[in-house]
Amino acid sequence: MSRKLLRVFIALAIICTAVYFAFNMIMSSLVHSKKEIVTPNVVGKSLYSALEELSKEGFGIKKDGEEPNQNVPTGIILRQNPPAGMTVREGKIIRVTLSQGGEIIYVPDLIGQTIRSADIALRYATLVMGEVSKKFSISAEKNIVISQDAAAGSKVDKNSVVNIVVSDGMPPEGIILMPNFINKNIKEVKAWAEEQGINVNVKSEGSSNIETNTITEQYPIADTDVTDEKNITVTVAVNLE
């Protein structure tokens, strides 16, 4: 390398070093010229409210992520970094983590299952079997689930309790249970009611896709004890065509 090129190289190196140190000094001066302020507490606030508050105080905000939380509604801030009460330079970015709310679970359909099968289905869905009640039934075998609370398909939080009612088999002599007349003909209802000495109140409901005189609703519901009832009510379809 010639002496001339060497001198040029050294001169460029000196210039670059000088620029570097000058840049650092300027940036350091700018940073230290910013006033020190205390970070406010935005935990428990919505992202919009936090943004309003922090921007007024000279802070920035950045969402760091989201986490499921059973006790905090969706969109509410769970944590912030730096935490509240710290002294930082104006313009500091506050990172926040938001709640996704509780994990939502759809309740499985337990009707028609055994107690063991219902328990397995609930465990698989991360739900808990609660109270197991028994009720006489003419429509289901003994120990088969005939109703549930919460209802199948409803949305609940993870680890929620679902109570069930299971069949205790056929009722003893002298107890009359309401049969399931849904989708049956009104003639069946009247024949059964006459045999039991019960009066039938009939309501009509127009329908274009259900055969006339088919039962669409009944009161009381199936398996209800109607031993002392004098009246039952059914709704029948009336073809509109």
According to the model, what pLDDT value does residue 25 have?
58
> Over 90: is that where the pLDDT of 207 sits?
no
Arithmetic mean of pLDDT over the chain: 88
Strand-pairing partners, residue 60, are: 93
Class (C level, CATH) for 186-239: alpha beta
Cite the beta strand spans of 6-127 per DSSP E.
36-38, 60-67, 77-81, 87-89, 93-99, 104-106
Contact 120, 69 (CB under 8 A): no
Per CATH, 104-167 and 186-239 having the same topology is answered yes
Q: Give burial (CB, 10 Å; 0-12/13-18/19+) of 223.
A: buried
> Over 80: is that where the pLDDT of 3 sits?
no
Residues 6+ apart with CB under 8 A from 68: 99, 100, 101, 102, 103
Amino acid (one-letter) located at 121: A
Give the model confidence (pLDDT) of 73-116 as tens digits: 889 999 999 999 999 988 899 999 999 887 788 999 999 999 99
Backbone angles phi, psi at 11, to 5 degrees: -60, -45
In the chain, domain spans: 1-33, 35-102, 104-167, 186-239
Residue with tokens 């709310």: 101
Q: Distances in Å between the alpha carbon of 159 and those of 152, 156, 192?
A: 15, 9, 44
Q: Is the pTM of this model over 0.75?
A: no
Helix (H) or strand (E) holding 128: strand 128-135
**Token couple for 164:** 């069930």
Average pLDDT for 126-144: 95
According to the model, what pLDDT value does residue 44 have?
93
DSSP state of 179: -
Contact 237, 211 (CB under 8 A): yes
CATH number of the domain located at residue range(s) 104-167 in this protein = 3.30.10.20
Average pLDDT for 191-208: 93
Give the model confidence (pLDDT) of 141-197 as tens digits: 999 999 999 999 998 888 899 999 999 999 999 999 999 999 999 999 999 999 999
> Over 50: is that where the pLDDT of 31 sits?
no
Which band of pLDDT confidence, cut at 50, 70 and 90, is reported for residue 34?
Answer: low
Separation of alpha carbons 72 and 101, rounded Å:
6
CATH number of the domain located at residue range(s) 35-102 in this protein = 3.30.10.20
